[in-house]
């Protein structure tokens, strides 16, 4: 029986639904009607519905996709603390799921031209992956720059101090990756999924390494190439549109490699091939840093979610244990694992703040629907990281070599003398 039929009155329905709710107080407002979660308390946020019909449609189908769709279509606005609103929505979804005995059926998806192209191709085929990447990343750089900042780094920053600003923290992250890789001027370096070129530029300008980046996004490749040309680094730095699965056909092998924020697009079934290719591309004794989001092993995978429908088509998060298992089975030695979960909470909150502060300029380059999708996705992700449902890990891997090559026994050189970039290679 539909929930709207169980409760004939809106107020009775909401009182029952939030009977065990202990989160931040909030109000729901619709034309000529409102409801308070905690009467006589100042609301931390307000859900403002355009119509009572929109409110009641959510009563009938309170799923993650339906809630997200109502926000991005502008049927409901969130005024106040968006993170508390996301936490409240998680409470509602868990409550509805427990009442029905199983997750509610997801409303039929609206098939967009992008989704239609995806559905015609095999999951994680090169053609389908390229379409999925284009859907997420191929917005104009002017959309990203106001909230990513000048580094244009779209991955977890590293806050050496809590008070670090975003630009400093992103520079910290780029430097930490290069330090973990023990990167030097004589090295050849490959960045798999290079984004807008931040890491390859850092590797060549700060460490002198010959750097190559690949991406499936034409917008990213074009912008990265412009940055490289503007910095007069074209001799030792190059970015192109290429699938990682096509790299073994080329005659290049690398001393050092990294994959930062691309791992989520690989797909669990493709992980054996992903690590096998990385192992093949790396010279014996070389290092590979894999930086990616992981799902807690205690949290089941979500399908037909808001993220899957509106943000990351075909995105796939696997537990850390699976990542390590596949890496070792490919022949890698695991040298280090670091969880940066709290750093991503802070990164996402700064991105959300940037989106909100720069809304006017951003809306000159993208639609309000795109803006709302990204705002809700980042706020929701911040809550998920804070709760521990997901984390982000840097896994440092080494391809073993026949000859004996010593490696540092401690991590101290990664975190000390931060201003020094020229450190002697370990003997």
Hey, where are the domains in the chain? Answer: 3-100, 139-415
| Mean pLDDT within 253-275 | 95
Q: Is the pLDDT of residue 27 over 80?
A: yes
Pair 49, 55: CB distance under 8 Å:
yes
More confident residue, 317 or 118: 317
Can you give the pTM of this predicted structure? 0.86
Q: 215 has which bridge partners? A: 241
Q: Is the pLDDT of residue 255 over 80?
A: yes
Q: What is the CATH topology of the domain spanning 139-415?
A: Rossmann fold (3.40.50)
Q: What is the reported pLDDT for 122?
A: 66
pLDDT in tens, 204-240: 999 999 999 999 999 999 999 999 999 999 999 999 9
Which residue in 334, 343, 397, 327 sits closest to 153, CA to CA? Answer: 343
Between the alpha carbon of residue 298 and those of residues 144, 184, 319, the distances in Å are 33, 40, 9
Residue 426, sorted as left (phi over 0), alpha (psi -120 to 50) or beta, turns out to be beta
Tokens of 291: 């930086």
User: Is residue 30 helix, strand or coil?
Assistant: strand
| Mean pLDDT within 122-144 | 80
Which residue in 84, 93, 37 sits closest to 66, CA to CA? Answer: 93
- Which of 66-70, 109-113, 272-276, 355-359 is predicted least confidently? 109-113
Residue 155 and residue 344: Cα distance in Å, rounded?
8
pLDDT in tens, 383-419: 999 999 999 999 999 999 877 666 777 888 888 876 5
What is the CA angle 98-101-103, rounded to 5? 80
| Mean pLDDT within 336-350 | 98
Tokens of 335: 């040298």
Between the alpha carbon of residue 35 and those of residues 21, 25, 26, 55, 89, the distances in Å are 14, 11, 9, 12, 16
pLDDT in tens, 50-69: 887 778 777 777 788 888 99
Query: 3-100: what CATH class?
Result: alpha beta
Helix axes 52-60, 64-72, angle to 10 degrees: 160
Q: Please, which pLDDT band fits residue 272 given cuts at 50, 70 and 90?
A: very high
Residue 47 and residue 30: Cα distance in Å, rounded?
9
Tokens of 142: 């002017």
Residue 142 and residue 392: Cα distance in Å, rounded?
27
Number of continuous H segments (helices) and E segments (strands) in the chain: 18, 11
Cβ count within 10 A of residue 294: 21
Q: Is the pLDDT of residue 423 over 50?
A: no
Q: Within its chain, how far is the Cα of 275 from the centroid?
A: 20
């Amino acid at each position: 029986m539909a929930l709207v039929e169980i409760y004939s009155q809106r107020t009775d329905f909401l009182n029952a639904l939030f009977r065990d709710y202990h989160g931040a107080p909030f109000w729901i407002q619709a034309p000529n009607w409102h409801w308070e979660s905690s009467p006589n308390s100042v609301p931390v946020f307000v859900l403002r519905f355009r119509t009572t019909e929109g409110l009641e449609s959510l009563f009938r189908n309170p799923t993650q996709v339906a809630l997200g769709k109502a926000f991005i279509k502008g049927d409901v606005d969130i005024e106040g603390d968006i993170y508390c609103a996301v936490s409240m929505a998680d409470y509602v979804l868990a409550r509805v799921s427990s009442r029905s005995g199983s997750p509610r059926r997801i409303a039929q998806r609206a098939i967009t031209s992008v989704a239609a192209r995806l559905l015609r191709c095999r999951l994680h085929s090169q053609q389908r992956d390229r379409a999925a990447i284009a859907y997420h990343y191929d917005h104009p750089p002017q959309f990203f720059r106001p909230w990513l900042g000048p580094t244009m780094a779209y991955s977890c920053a590293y806050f050496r101090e809590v008070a670090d600003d975003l630009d400093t923290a992103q520079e910290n992250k780029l430097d930490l990756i290069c330090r973990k890789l023990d990167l030097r001027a004589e090295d050849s370096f490959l960045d798999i999924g290079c984004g807008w070129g931040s890491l390859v530029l850092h590797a060549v300008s700060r460490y002198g390494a010959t750097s190559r980046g690949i991406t499936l996004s034409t917008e990213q490749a074009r912008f990265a190439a412009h940055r490289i040309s503007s910095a007069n680094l074209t001799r030792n730095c190059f970015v192109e549109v290429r699938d990682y699965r096509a790299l073994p056909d080329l005659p290049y092998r690398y001393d050092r490699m990294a994959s930062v924020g691309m791992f989520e697009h690989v797909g669990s079934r493709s992980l054996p091939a992903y690590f096998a290719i990385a192992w093949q591309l790396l010279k014996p004794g070389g290092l590979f840093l894999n930086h990616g989001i992981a799902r807690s092993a205690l949290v089941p995978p979500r399908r037909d979610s808001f993220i899957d429908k509106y943000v990351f088509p075909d995105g796939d998060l696997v537990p850390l244990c699976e990542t390590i298992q596949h890496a070792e089975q490919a022949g890698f030695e695991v040298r280090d694992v670091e969880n940066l979960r709290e750093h991503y909470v802070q990164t996402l909150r700064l991105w959300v703040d940037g989106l909100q502060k720069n809304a006017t300029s951003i809306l000159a380059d993208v639609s309000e629907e795109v803006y709302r999708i990204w705002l809700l996705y980042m706020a929701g992700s911040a809550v998920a990281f804070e709760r521990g449902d997901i984390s982000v890990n840097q896994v440092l891997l080494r391809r073993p070599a026949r000859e004996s090559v010593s490696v540092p026994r401690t991590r101290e050189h990664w975190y000390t003398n931060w201003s020094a970039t020229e450190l002697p290679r370990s003997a």
